[in-house]
């Protein structure tokens, strides 16, 4: 799919404003330039940023309650999905406080520069959340291409209380990861096929208890 069609598909799915599309184009340009020196995304995906990264990231937005207060992106990397959600939530005038947790100082700088460029109210936390965990008071967790499912579940279970939802993007091994995780956890969840790849799934977890 060429870039024009990718943008058109994104617009149909999200129905965002022209100003938001301009912001995402700035995001795209900044990402392509930064990727020359930083390993933010695979070079093979640069021609498909709007579908592979932007649309993929935004697909959970309709399942995020407008009355939630906080959202944390675990291992944000190049800002997926947290930064894309921040841009689209701003477009919808949903004042969710968004925090991006990332351990790489270089990626943190990229994210902070991008936030300034796009005038977003987003906090970036430079932290190795696995080695230096701290208690998190969060309504919604999101995670995409971060760590295996079992590690994410243990991290949230150990360090967060009273959360409302967890959205985890899983690739081709997702269904098997979910099956294995279910042996150790009682998980109340919804499973959806990714809008960008029929081999991938997005799970929405509403309850998590150790067996």
Give the pLDDT confidence of 37-91 residue by residue, as tens digits: 998 999 999 999 999 999 999 999 999 999 999 999 999 999 999 999 999 999 9
Nearest to 153 by CA among 181, 125, 117: 181
Predicted local confidence at residue 10, as pLDDT: 94
Report d(CA 124, CA 101) in Å as an integer: 6
Report d(CA 95, CA 45) in Å as an integer: 31
Report d(CA 84, CA 27) in Å as an integer: 9
Query: In the chain, which residues have pLDDT < 70?
Result: none
Phi and psi at residue 157, to the nearest 5° = -60, -35
Question: What's the whole-model pTM score?
Answer: 0.95
Sketch out the chain's domains with CATH numbers. 58-210 (3.40.50.150)
């Amino acid at each position: 799919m060429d870039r024009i069609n990718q943008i058109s598909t994104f617009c149909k799915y999200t129905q965002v404003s022209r100003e938001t599309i301009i912001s995402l184009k700035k995001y795209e340009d900044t990402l392509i330039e930064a990727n020359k020196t930083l390993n933010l995304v695979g070079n093979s995906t640069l021609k498909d940023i709007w579908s592979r990264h932007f649309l993929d990231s935004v697909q959970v937005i309709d399942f995020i309650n407008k009355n939630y207060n906080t959202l944390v992106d675990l291992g944000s990397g190049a800002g997926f999905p947290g930064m894309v959600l921040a841009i689209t939530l701003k477009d919808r005038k949903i004042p969710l406080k968004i925090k991006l947790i990332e351990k790489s100082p270089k990626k943190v700088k990229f994210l902070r520069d991008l936030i300034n460029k796009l005038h977003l109210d987003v906090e970036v936390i430079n932290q190795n959340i696995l080695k230096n965990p701290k208690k998190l008071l969060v309504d919604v967790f999101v995670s995409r291409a971060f760590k295996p499912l079992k590690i994410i579940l243990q991290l949230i279970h150990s360090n967060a209380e009273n959360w409302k939802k967890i959205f985890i993007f899983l690739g081709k091994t997702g269904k098997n990861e979910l099956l294995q995780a279910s042996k150790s956890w009682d998980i109340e969840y919804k499973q959806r096929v990714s809008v960008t790849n029929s081999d991938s799934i997005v799970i929405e977890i509403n309850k998590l208890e150790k067996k």
